[in-house]
Amino acid sequence: MCVQNFVFSGPFFVGVPYRIKKEIGGDALDYGRLVSAYGLFSMVGGIWAMVSGEGVKDSRIIALVIGMTLSYCLGLIAFGLAPLVWEMILTSGIMGVIDGASMPLIMTFFQGHAPEGGMGTVMGALMMCWVGLEPLSYAATGFLFPLGASTVLVGAGAIMALVFMSSMFTGYVLGFARVPVKTGKKERGQTEADEGEGETETPAETQERDREAVTQEDMV
C-alpha cells in the first residue's frame, strides 16, 4: 500500500491536471468535473460496501485488493493515453466506484487482523503510508515532468502493475488474507480450565470480595 500510494498520488493530483491543460487543451473546470466524478462514484461504492453483507471473507478480500490495484494501474495508463477529457472523467468515475467499494472493507480486514493492543500501531502505519508519502510523490512527479505528463502517467501505472504482479508471485497478497481473524470465540472441545485461563479480576469485583470477607468476619 505504501508503493501504491507513492506511485498514485503525484501522477493523479499533479500529472492529470497538467495533462488536461497542457496536452488536451482543457481547463480547471474539466479537472473539477474529473475529481467530482471520482468523489461521487466513491460515495456510491461506499454505500455498496456498507450494505453488501456481513464480514469480509478471505476470497472476497483478495478480489477487492486485486480489483482496486488494477483500477489504479489501468486508470493511470488510461489517463496518460486518453485523447479526450470526457474519457478521463469516465475513467475517474470507474476508479472511484471501485475504490469506494474496496477501501472500507479492506480497512475492516486490517483492523480485524490487528493484534490485541496493536490497533493504533496498524492504523498509524497505514496513515503514514497515505499522508506521509504524498508530498514525496508530488515532488517526484514534478521532477519527472520534463519527460511529459503522458509518459509519467503511463510509467506510474506500469510500475504499480509490476509491483503488484511481483507481490502476487511471491504470495504476499494471497498469503496475508489467510491469516485467521481473532474473534475471541473459544474453540470447540476446549476445557473449562482453558476458558478461565488468563481472566483478571476487575477493581469492582475486588472491592466486593473484600466487603464480603469483612462482613463474614463481623458475623463471626
- Close Cβ partners of 34 (under 8 Å, ≥ 6 residues apart): 16, 20, 85, 88, 89, 92
Does position 192 have pLDDT exceeding 50, yes or no? Answer: no
Handedness of CA 148, 152, 154, 159 (dihedral sign): positive
* pLDDT, tens only, 48-81: 888 875 556 666 777 777 888 888 999 999 999 9
**Residue 124 is placed in which grid cell?**
498509524
Domain boundaries, the chain: 2-176
Q: pLDDT tens-digit profile of 121-153?
A: 777 777 777 777 888 888 898 889 889 999 999
C-beta neighbour count of 108 within 10 angstroms? 14
| Model pTM above 0.85 | no
The Cα-based distances of 93 to 52, 75, 102, 110 in angstroms read 20, 10, 14, 26
Neighbours of 157 (CB within 10 A): 23
Please state, in angstroms and rounded to a whole number, the distance separating the CA atoms of residues 15 and 26.
Answer: 14
Q: Rounded to whole angstroms, how far apart are CA atoms 73 and 141? A: 16
Inter-CA distances, 172 with 83, 137, 160, 176, Å? 36, 24, 15, 6
Residue 28: all three cell numbers together = 480547471
Q: Do residues 99 and 45 touch, judged by C-beta distance below 8 A?
A: yes
Give the model confidence (pLDDT) of 15-49 as tens digits.
999 999 988 988 989 999 999 999 999 999 989 88
Single out the residue of 22, 28, 3 nearest to residue 167, CA to CA. Answer: 3
Query: May I ask the CATH class of domain 2-176?
Result: mainly alpha
